[in-house]
A and B are shown apart, each in its own frame.
Chain A
Amino acid sequence: MKDFLLEVGTEDIPSRFMPSTLEQLAARFRAFLKDSRLPHSSVKAYGTHRRLVVEVKGLAPHQEETTVEAKGPARKAAFDAEGRPTRAAEGFARGQGVRVEDLVTRTTPQGEYVFAVRRDRGLPAAEVLAQAVPGLVTGLEFPKQMRWGAGEYRFVRPVKWVVALLGTDIVPMTILGVPSGRTSRGHRFLAPRPFRLTSAGEYLSAVHQAMVIVEPERRREMIHDSARSAAAKAGGRPHEDPDLLEELVFLVEYPTAVLGSFPAEFLELPAEVLITTMQHHQKYFAAKAYEEEPELQLLPNFIAFRDGGTEGLDVVRAGYEKVLRARLADAKFFFDQDRERSLEDWAAQLTTIAFQDKLGTLAGKASRLEWLARALAPKVGLDPARAARAARLLKADLATNLVREFTELQGTMGRVYARLSGEGDDVAEAIFEHYLPRFAGDELAQTRMGQLMSVLDKVDSLVGFFAVGLAPTGSQDPYALRRQAVGLVATLVEAGFPFGIEGLVSEGVAAYLNERFEVVGTAAVGSAVMSAAMPAGRPKPEDFARGAAELREFLQSRVRAYLEEQGFRYDVVEAVVGAINSAAGPGAGARNGTGAGADVPADMADRAAALAAFRETDGFADAVIAFGRAANLGGRSPEREVDPRLLKDPAEVALNKGFQEVRGRAREMLATHRYGDLLATVAQLRPAVDRFFEAVMVMVDDEAVRNNRLALLKGISSLVGQVADFSKLVVSKDELGGPGK
Chain B
Amino acid sequence: MNFQEMLLTLERYWSGQGCIIQQPYDVEKGAGTMNPASFFRALGPEPWRVAYVEPSRRPADARYGENPNRVYQHHQYQVILKPSPDNVQDLYLDSLKALGIDPQVHDIRFVEDNWEAPTLSAWGLGWEIWLDGMEITQFTYFQQVGGFEVKPVAVEITYGLERIALYLQQKESVFELEWIPGVTYGDIFRRAEYEHSVYSFEVADPAMLRALFETFEREARAVMEKELVLPAYDYVLKCSHLFNILDARGAMSVSERTAYLGRLRNLSRRCAQTYLAQRESMGHPLLQRGGIFTTPDPEATLPETVGVWPKEVTAK
Contacts and interface: CB of A to CB of B under 8 A. Distances in A.
A146 B250 contact: no
Interface residues of A, number: 53
B195 interface: no
Contact of A151 (B112, B114, B152, B303): B152
Given A306-B107, A311-B104, A527 B249 contact: yes
B107 A147 contact: no
Interface in B75-112: 83-86, 89, 102-112
Interface stretch (B14-22, B253-261, B282-290): B253-261
A526 B141 contact: no
Contacts of B259: 536
Interface string A281-324: 01010000000000000000000101110011001101110111
B151 interface: yes
Contact of A527 (B172, B202, B306): B202
A14 B125 CA distance: 10
Contacts of A533: 253, 255
B132 A320 contact: yes
* Chain B: interface size category: 35 or more
A308 B69 contact: no
B125 A144 contact: yes
Nearest to A186: B303
B310 interface: no
A531 B107 contact: no
A353 B153 contact: no
B150 interface: yes
B106 A312 contact: yes
Interface in B216-271: 249-251, 253-255, 257-259
A357 B255 contact: yes
B44 to A, nearest CB: 12
Contact of B153 (A149, A160, A531): A149
Contact of B134 (A14, A251, A308, A322): A322
A147 B254 contact: no
Contacts of A147: 141, 143, 151, 153
A150 B104 contact: no
A189 B97 CA distance: 12
Contacts of A14: 112
Nearest to B110: A12
B39 interface: no
Contacts of A531: 253
A530 interface: yes
A149 B141 CA distance: 9
A357 B105 contact: no
A315 B102 CA distance: 11
Contacts of A304: 133
Contacts of B69: 326, 330
A531 B251 CA distance: 10
Interface string B200-214: 011000100000000
Contacts of B84: 148-149, 158
A311 B83 CA distance: 36
A361 B107 CA distance: 43
Contacts of A357: 254-255, 258
A354 interface: yes
A681 interface: no
Contact of A315 (B86, B105, B155): B105
A703 B151 CA distance: 82
Contact of A149 (B102, B124, B152): B152
B213 to A, nearest CB: 16
B302 interface: yes
Nearest to A177: B86
Interface in A511-556: 526-531, 533, 535-536
A144 B68 CA distance: 36
A15 interface: yes
A16 B112 contact: yes
Contacts of A323: 132-134
Given A144-B125, A148-B153, A189 B134 contact: no
A201 B106 CA distance: 33
A316 B108 CA distance: 10
B167 interface: yes
Nearest to B135: A323
A528 B250 contact: yes
Interface in B135-166: 141, 143, 149-153, 155
A646 B111 CA distance: 84
B132 A150 contact: no
B133 A527 contact: no
A316 B201 contact: no
Interface in B274-315: 302-303, 306
B198 to A, nearest CB: 11
A737 interface: no
A319 B107 contact: yes
Contact of A193 (B143, B253, B303): B303
B144 to A, nearest CB: 10
Contact of B254 (A192, A319, A361): A361
A535 B155 CA distance: 39
Contacts of A330: 69
B153 to A, nearest CB: 5
Interface string A1-27: 000000000011011100000000000
A160 B111 CA distance: 18
A352 interface: yes
Contact of B109 (A194, A307, A526): A307
Contacts of A320: 107, 132-133
B131 interface: yes
B127 interface: yes
Given A323-B133, A527-B249, A315 B254 contact: no
Contacts of A528: 249-251
Contacts of B254: 352-354, 357, 360-361, 535
A357 to B, nearest CB: 5
A326 B111 CA distance: 20
Contacts of A526: 250
Nearest to A312: B105
A90 B251 CA distance: 85
Contact of B114 (A144, A188, A284, A311): A144
A322 B173 CA distance: 12
A188 B303 CA distance: 9
Nearest to B134: A323
A326 B174 CA distance: 12
Contacts of A12: 89, 109-110, 112, 127
Contact of B253 (A11, A322, A324, A530): A530
Contacts of A306: 107
A305 B68 CA distance: 27
Contact of B83 (A149, A194, A319, A324): A149
Contact of A158 (B86, B104, B127): B86
Contacts of A149: 83-86, 152-153
Most buried by A among B69, B85, B251, B255: B255
Contacts of B114: 144
A9 to B, nearest CB: 12
Given A192-B306, A323-B132, 7 more contacts: A146-B143, A151-B150, A326-B172, A357-B255, A360-B255, A533-B255, A536-B255
13 contacts: A16-B112, A144-B114, A146-B153, A151-B150, A151-B153, A192-B303, A312-B102, A315-B105, A316-B132, A319-B107, A323-B134, A526-B250, A535-B254
Interface of B: 68-69, 83-86, 89, 102-112, 114, 124-125, 127, 131-134, 141, 143, 149-153, 155, 167, 172, 201-202, 206, 249-251, 253-255, 257-259, 302-303, 306
Interface of A: 11-12, 14-16, 144, 146-151, 158, 160, 188-189, 192-194, 251, 282, 284, 304, 306-308, 311-312, 315-316, 318-320, 322-324, 326, 330, 352-354, 357, 360-361, 526-531, 533, 535-536
In the A-B complex, the 10 residue pairs with the closest CB atoms: A319-B132, A312-B105, A528-B250, A192-B303, A14-B112, A151-B151, A12-B110, A354-B254, A306-B107, A323-B133
